[in-house]
Chains A and B, each alone.
Chain A
Amino acid sequence: NAGVTQTPKFRILKIGQSMTLQCTQDMNHNYMYWYRQDPGMGLKLIYYSVGAGITDKGEVPNGYNVSRSTTEDFPLRLELAAPSQTSVYFCASSSGTGYDGYTFGSGTRLTVV
């Protein structure tokens, strides 16, 4: 029972490079989310999806893009990486009940130099 799987676990990017953070869940959850965690700042919502083909912006979407072609996958694309995007990124999924909470992946630590 894998839950939410994120790849890669670590990545170093140069300024201006692009990359895709992968996220897959096997719980048949309709709701998926991308958060970033900066030191001492808690988690901030980047993008979310309520089902295949439907995505929407969260609190900090600038510099990112997402797609949701299947229920299982929710990749996050970084275009033209900037040092401000150095962070730990977490993908999560939810059944949408509110009180059950999210299931999070183990995170991707990204450094932009």
Chain B
Amino acid sequence: DQQVKQNSPSLSVQEGRISILNCDYTNSMFDYFLWYKKYPAEGPTFLISISSIKDKNEDGRFTVFLNKSAKHLSLHIVPSQPGDSAVYFCAASGSGGAQKLVFGQGTRLTINP
């Protein structure tokens, strides 16, 4: 029972263009949604988050969109840079308590020069 799904294992984008990474979830009780970036042999690093009361959050080149009715979120990176090549995980948690994160399987993003 996969509560958070990333259906694209990989994505290839040309440098300077927009990268769009997608994530779907099934649990309507999730209150927070987060994106993490992971380089090989390193731990995931927090990128950006959004709460369920918003539908958009921006931080520099990164924007996360949340569509609660479709239980779908996406991460937009514009413009894409070579250093953005990494594995991206979406994650979700409820509010209160231990705020345990449930992760998707990850999408490997490759930015081509």
CB distance from B108 to the nearest CB of A (A): 10
CB distance from A41 to the nearest CB of B (A): 6
Are the CB atoms of B105 and A40 closer together than 8 Å?
yes
A to B contact number (C-beta, < 8 Å): 70
Are the CB atoms of B46 and A43 closer together than 8 Å?
no
For B50, list chain A residues within 8 Å (CB).
99
**Does B36 touch A at the CB level, under 8 Å?**
yes
Are the CB atoms of B9 and A96 closer together than 8 Å?
no
Are the CB atoms of A104 and B32 closer together than 8 Å?
no
Other-chain contact of A104, B41, B43, B95 (Cβ < 8 Å): B43
Are the CB atoms of A90 and B98 closer together than 8 Å?
no
**Residue from B49, B100, B104 with most neighbouring chain A CB atoms (10 Å):** B100
Query: Interface digits, B24-63 against A, CB 8 Å rule (1 contact, 0 not)?
Result: 0000000110101000011111100111000000000000
**Does B18 touch A at the CB level, under 8 Å?**
no
**Does A26 touch B at the CB level, under 8 Å?**
no
Other-chain contact of B98, A35, A50, A100, A104 (Cβ < 8 Å): A50
For B34, list chain A residues within 8 Å (CB).
99, 101
Given contacts A40-B105, A42-B89, contact A98 B41 (CB under 8 A): no
For B46, list chain A residues within 8 Å (CB).
100-103
Other-chain contact of A42, B41, B43, B98, B104 (Cβ < 8 Å): B104
Query: How far apart are the CA atoms of A31 and B15 in the complex, in Å?
Result: 38
Other-chain contact of A106, B31, B42, B99 (Cβ < 8 Å): B42
Binding site for A on B (CB under 8 A): 4, 6, 9, 31-32, 34, 36, 41-46, 49-51, 89, 93, 95, 97-106
